[in-house]
Amino acid sequence: MVPASPVARPLRHVARALFPCVWRGKYFSSGNEPAESNRVTPMFRHLMYKIKSTGPITVAEYMKEVLTNPDKGYYVHHDMLGEKGDFITSPEISQIFGELVGIWFISEWMSSGKSSAFQLVELGPGRGTLTGDILRVFSQLGSVLKTCDISVHLVEVSQKLSEFQALTLTDKKIPLERDAESLVYMKGVTKSGIPVSWYRDLKDVPKGYSFYLANEFFDVLPIHKFQKTPHGWREVLIDIDPQVSDKLRFVLAPGATPAEAFIQCGETRDHIEVCPEAGVIIQELSQRIALTGGAALIADYGHDGTKTDTFRGFCSHKLHDVLIAPGTADLTADVDFSYLRRMTQGKAASLGPIQQQTFLKNMGIDVRLKVLLDKADEPSVRQQLLHGYNMLMNPKKMGERFNFFALLPHQRLQVGSHQMGTCQSKPSASSPVAGFGELTWQ
């Protein structure tokens, strides 16, 4: 089915998997780290200037500037993943994660009529490890996919990370496109001969039958924070501390602010976080899936509309005060899956959220682990495999905190349905969606 042996990852991968790294879903509060000596970063100076000119800024504006400002943003120039970085993600922990996600896409491709072509689109691909593991599964299942025309499309704002992705997937450095107007900013061919293109925005990816993937992407999108007060909802803003000139602090807006429109009527919590950018992306994905078919698989830590303050920072695998030394730490907030579900606006069907341990178990992680262990000769590789399994599955680690959520065409869930698109053969009666029920092969 998939490669029988553990993938020979470079030594740094072994070290990374065994290093006691922090996955970002572990903490709930925004943290209270001791002040850092060097908190006046270039990003801090940029924000001070901005706040002095126009007044306190929203948390969403703060997050957007700190993470993706084209000049000084945290994601733009850092490699933040792995043992030398600030946090670790599932595909960086174990090859099995990407392999099972690859099988999920093949299972959906088969269940929806084996289209003659599809696009694999990843949002926020980090180092490209996840897409790399998926493409390896596609190669191994070449006999199943042999007549299918596959292309890869990566949506990435970080130039630094897009360089890593190019190296992971194509083994080459790829120059930036010369035409500044081009929607594609890099183009290449993967090691297995599949065309791969890079974009800054999902809207720029060609519309067509696609499988979309987002692992730990939605949690870095900017959130607005609101506090319930006797005068109604008030947005949490970020201002300069009048007592300490090189310090930022949270304040409440004196009156209503535009993002209040995103709060649901009848909201019972007294503090909430809303993420309009996530809503825009879900609407775009739902429309695309409704029009051209395919599916989206979203994996992240989050909740179903129940949590309150989840905004936090990570630096060197430690919780980090979100207001200190901006630009040197990752900022993140739990994904509200109930909001994502609402934002489909009925255009696509949704499944989940379902806990990572359940999804991976349904996808056959135990069988896959056994195959890899049986083939592994070296004790260090066996240890890496077992450690990775434990990190992904243990309820106290990532097993319960991380969730899978899927978007599918409505027809996919209707029994005996015909699928969309002109180039697909007629599917059999609707089969259960793998991962969200037990995996079945037809």
Ligand X SMILES: C[S@@+](CC[C@H](N)C(=O)[O-])C[C@H]1O[C@@H](n2cnc3c(N)ncnc32)[C@H](O)[C@@H]1O
Residues at the site binding ligand X, with contacts judged by CB under 6 A:
67-68, 75, 81, 89, 91-92, 124-126, 130, 155-158, 161, 215-217, 220
Helix ranges, 112-253 (H): 129-140, 142-145, 159-170
From the CB of 217, what's the least distance to ligand X, in Å?
A: 5
Q: How far is the CB of 97 from ligand X (least distance, A)?
A: 9
CB of 243 to ligand X, least distance (A): 33
- The rounded distance, in Å, linking the Cα atoms of 407 and 397 is 26
Helix, strand, or coil here: 431? coil
Q: Where is 302: in which H helix or E strand? A: strand 294-303
221 vs 420, beta carbon nearer ligand X? 221
Nearer residue to ligand X within complex by CB, 107 or 165: 165
Residue 86's closest CA among 71, 69, 74, 72? 74
Q: Which is nearer to ligand X, 67 or 329 (CB)?
A: 67
Least Å distance between CB 242 and ligand X? 32
How far is it, in rounded angstroms, from Cα 430 to Cα 433? 9
Residue bearing tokens 């209707």: 414
Residue nearest to ligand X (CB): 124
101/324 with CB nearer ligand X = 101
Residue 376: how many other CB atoms lie within 10 Å: 17
DSSP strand pairing (294-303 vs 402-408): antiparallel
CB of 126 to ligand X, least distance (A): 3
* Minimal distance, residue 340 CB to ligand X, in Å: 16
Please return the burial class of 102, using the count of CB atoms within 10 Å of its CB with bins 0-12, 13-18 and 19+: buried
Residue with tokens 């969606």: 433
CB of 216 to ligand X, least distance (A): 4
**What is the Cα–Cα distance from 53 to 366, expressed in whole angstroms?**
57
Residue 61 CB-half CA count within 13 A: 15
Spatial neighbors of 150 by CB under 8 A, at least 6 apart, are: 117, 118, 119, 120, 138, 194
